[in-house]
């Protein structure tokens, strides 16, 4: 992205300002940032193109700007890929990225798939516990439905089954 001030060079410094609980962000290139800090580190000078920077904040750049500053800080320690890198290429670096970028990936998965919970197959060898957990999840949602339908007898049966499985999980 381009520097919001000179609109010429690549922005590489990101400022976050909180005034009256209003969070604002500014993305500048190194040169403009240096100027900005020297001149405005304590007060806003009238000659700073403040309206300029405000309009850019009200554009849809706001969210993406904030996202980008966040992404930049996230790096998967296993494969060394950054979230920004993933955002560019669409490819994660390794299977551990899913854990390491979890907080960013959750909403993304929700957007793409409408769900973030796998409910399909498990690897046979490694999947014993997963399978039980999945059964518990399924039974619990069944339970909710039964309670809502006031089918309490059947619900009690399902509840006992859940307990049984939970005990099995602890073994």
Partner 1 sequence: MLKDFVTTLNTKWLDASGPHTDVVISSRVRLARNLKDLPFPHLMNEEHDNQLIEKLRTTIDSQNLVKKTGPLEFTLLKELNSLEKRILVEKHLISPEHAGSSSGGVIFSKDQSISIMVKEEDHLRIQCILPGLQITDSYNMANTLDDLLEENLDYAFHERYGYLTACPTNVGTGMRASVMMHLPGLVLTKQVNKVLTALSQVGLVVRGIYGEGTEPLGNLFQISNGTTIGRSEEEVVTNLSSVIKQIIDQERVARERFYNGNKLHLEDKIMRAKGILENAKLMDSDEALKLISALKLGIDLGIIEAINLKVYYNLLVAIQPAYLQYTSGQRGMGPEERDKKRAEIIKEILRK
Of 94, 92, 101, 98, the closest CA to residue 74 belongs to 101
Residue placing its CB nearer to partner 1 in the complex, 49 or 107: 107
Q: How far is the CB of 88 from partner 1 (least distance, A)?
A: 12
Q: How far is the CB of 135 from partner 1 (least distance, A)?
A: 12
Residues 98-127 binding partner 1 (CB under 8 A) are 98-99, 105, 108-109, 112-127
Q: Give strand ranges (E) for the chain.
A: 13-19, 22-28
Instruction: Calculate helix-pair angle for 50-58, 61-73, nearest 10 degrees.
Output: 90
Q: How far is the CB of 128 from partner 1 (least distance, A)?
A: 12
Q: Using CA atoms, how far apart are residues 130 and 84, in angstroms rounded to an integer?
A: 32
Binding part of the chain for partner 1, among 19-27, 34-42, 94-102, 155-163 by CB under 8 A, reads 94-102
Q: Using CA atoms, how far apart are residues 36 and 50, in angstroms rounded to an integer?
A: 11
Q: Which spans of this chain sit near partner 1 (rule: CB under 8 A)?
A: 79, 81, 89-95, 98-99, 105, 108-109, 112-127, 130, 133
């Amino acid at each position: 992205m381009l520097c919001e001030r000179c609109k010429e060079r690549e922005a590489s410094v990101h400022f976050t300002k909180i005034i009256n609980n209003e969070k604002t962000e500014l993305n500048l290139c190194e040169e403009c940032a240096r100027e900005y800090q020297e001149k405005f580190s304590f007060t806003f000078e009238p000659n700073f193109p403040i309206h300029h920077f405000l309009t850019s904040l009200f554009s849809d750049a706001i969210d993406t700007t904030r996202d980008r500053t966040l992404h930049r800080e996230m790096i998967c320690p296993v494969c060394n890929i950054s979230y920004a890198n993933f955002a560019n290429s669409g490819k994660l670096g390794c299977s551990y990225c899913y854990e390491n970028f979890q907080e960013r990936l959750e909403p993304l998965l929700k957007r793409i798939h409408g769900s973030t919970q796998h409910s399909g197959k498990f690897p046979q060898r490694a999947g014993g516990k997963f399978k039980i957990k999945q059964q518990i999840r399924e039974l619990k949602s069944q339970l909710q439905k039964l309670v809502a339908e006031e089918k309490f007898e059947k619900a009690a049966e399902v509840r006992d089954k859940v307990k049984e499985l939970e005990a099995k999980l602890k073994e």
